[in-house]
C-alpha cells in the first residue's frame, strides 16, 4: 500500500476528487482508512497524468510535485476568460487573425526563463487564503509574479481560432497563464480551451491507468 499510482485523470473532476475515489477503493480493500494524496493539482477541465501517492509514499509527495512536466494545450484566440479557461466568463476581444509567422515570433518570447503571474482562480495562498476563494468573494488582490522556465514550446497545429501547442515546463508553470499571455502578446486575447498533461519527468500518460481500470465508475 506504500506506493505511487499513475492515473489518467478525466475531464470534469478535481484532483481532490481523484484522490477521494482512490482512497475509498483502497480503504475498502484494506479494511481501514488508507492515506492517499496527490502531487500537484490538475484543473477540473484538464485531463492527463496525475501521480497519486499512497501510505508512507505520501511523505515524498513534494519530490514528484517539483518535477518538470509536458502538456498539450489548445489555445482559443480572439476571446478572453476570467479564469483563463473554459470555466470562466468568456468575452470577445478581437477578430484579427494572426498568421503563423506572427505566432512563431511571439512564442519565442516565452521560451526560457520568464516571469509569470498565476491565475487569480488558483490554489495559491495569499495571506493564508486560497486565491480562488478571494476571487470568488470579489476581493481585489495582486498575484505575485514567479519565475518559471519553459524548456520547449512548439506549435502542433493551427486552424484559427484554435492554436494547439506542446510545451515542456518547470514545476509551478500555469498553462492557463501562458495561454492568456500569448493572447495578450498577439493583441487578440486568448484562453486555454483544452489541456492535457502528457508526462511528468520520465512517466508518461500512455502508461497510466484510468479510474475505470481501478473499478471506479463515478
Q: In the numeric block, which cell numbers belong to residue 91?
A: 468575452
Q: Report H helices in the chain.
A: 15-30, 61-65, 100-107, 131-136, 175-186
The verdict on whether 43 is a catalytic residue reads yes
Task: Determine the Cα–Cα distance for residues 39 and 42; give it in Å rounded to an integer.
Answer: 10
Domains in the chain with CATH codes: 3-66+201-214 (3.30.2350.10), 69-199 (3.30.2350.10)
Cell numbers representing residue 19 in the block: 484522490
- Buried-state track 29-64, b at ≥16 Cβ within 10 A, e below 16: eeeeebbbbbbbebbbbbbbbbbbbbeebbeebeeb
Tell me the three-class secondary structure of 5-17, residue by residue: EEEEECCCCCHHH
Q: Which is catalytic among the residues 2, 8, 43, 181?
A: 43
Each residue's pLDDT tens digit in the chain (218 positions)? 569 999 999 999 999 999 999 999 999 998 999 999 989 889 999 999 999 999 999 999 999 999 999 999 999 999 999 899 999 999 999 999 999 999 999 999 999 999 998 776 666 676 676 666 766 777 776 677 889 999 999 999 999 999 999 999 999 999 999 999 999 999 999 999 999 999 999 999 999 999 999 999 87
Give the span between the Cα atoms of 213 and 190, in whole angstroms. Answer: 36
* Cα 7 from Cα 208, distance rounded (Å): 5
Nearest-angstrom CA–CA distance, 133 and 104: 36
Query: SS3 of 24, please?
Result: helix
Amino acid at each position: 500500500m506504500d506506493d505511487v499510482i499513475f492515473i489518467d485523470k478525466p475531464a470534469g473532476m478535481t484532483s481532490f476528487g481523484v484522490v477521494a475515489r482512490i482512497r475509498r477503493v483502497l480503504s475498502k480493500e484494506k479494511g481501514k482508512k488508507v492515506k492517499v494524496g496527490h502531487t500537484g493539482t490538475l484543473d477540473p477541465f484538464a485531463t492527463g497524468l496525475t501521480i497519486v501517492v499512497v501510505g508512507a509514499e505520501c511523505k515524498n509527495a513534494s519530490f514528484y510535485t517539483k518535477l518538470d512536466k509536458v502538456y498539450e494545450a489548445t489555445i482559443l484566440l480572439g476571446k478572453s476568460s476570467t479564469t483563463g479557461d473554459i470555466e470562466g466568463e468568456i468575452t470577445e476581444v478581437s477578430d484579427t487573425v494572426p498568421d503563423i509567422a506572427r505566432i512563431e515570433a511571439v512564442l519565442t518570447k516565452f521560451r526560457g526563463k520568464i516571469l509569470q503571474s498565476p491565475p487569480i482562480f488558483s490554489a495559491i495562498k495569499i495571506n493564508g487564503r486560497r486565491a480562488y476563494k478571494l476571487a470568488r468573494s470579489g476581493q481585489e488582490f495582486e498575484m505575485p509574479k514567479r519565475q518559471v522556465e519553459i524548456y520547449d514550446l512548439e506549435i502542433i497545429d493551427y486552424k484559427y481560432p484554435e492554436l494547439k501547442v506542446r510545451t515542456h515546463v518547470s514545476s509551478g508553470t500555469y498553462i492557463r497563464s501562458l495561454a492568456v499571455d500569448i493572447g495578450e502578446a498577439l493583441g487578440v486575447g486568448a484562453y486555454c480551451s483544452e489541456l492535457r498533461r502528457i508526462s511528468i519527468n520520465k512517466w508518461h500518460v500512455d502508461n497510466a491507468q484510468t479510474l475505470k481500470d481501478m473499478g471506479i465508475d463515478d
